[in-house]
Structure formats: structure tokens, C-alpha cells
């Protein structure tokens, strides 16, 4: 999604379980690295 000078990556997921207390905890170090790599490919 792009608006003016900003680019936003959106991930929509459904979690049936309660493995993570919040959405912040579901994004670990490895997922952050993958997201940064994906963003790097856009530029």
C-alpha cells in the first residue's frame, strides 16, 4: 500500500490459538529480518 511518500507493508493473518499474547510478540527477530529484506527489494 502506498500513500504519497510512504510505503506500508501489511500482513493479515488469522490465529486460532492463543500461542502469542499480542501481535507484537508474533513478530520475532527472524520475521523482522525477512520483512526488512522484502522491503529492500522494493527500493
Look at residue 23 in the predicted model and tell me its pLDDT.
67
pLDDT above 70: residue 35 = yes
Q: Is the pTM of this model over 0.85?
A: no
Q: What is the pLDDT of residue 1?
A: 54
CA 10, 16, 18: angle at the middle one, nearest 5?
A: 95
Find the helix or strand (DSSP H, E) in which 41 lies: helix 29-42
1-23, pLDDT tens digit by residue?
Answer: 556 777 777 777 777 766 656 66
Amino acid at each position: 500500500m502506498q500513500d504519497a511518500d510512504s510505503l506500508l507493508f501489511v500482513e493479515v493473518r488469522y490465529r486460532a490459538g492463543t500461542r502469542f499474547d499480542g501481535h507484537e510478540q508474533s513478530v520475532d527477530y527472524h520475521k523482522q529480518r525477512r520483512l526488512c529484506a522484502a522491503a529492500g527489494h522494493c527500493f
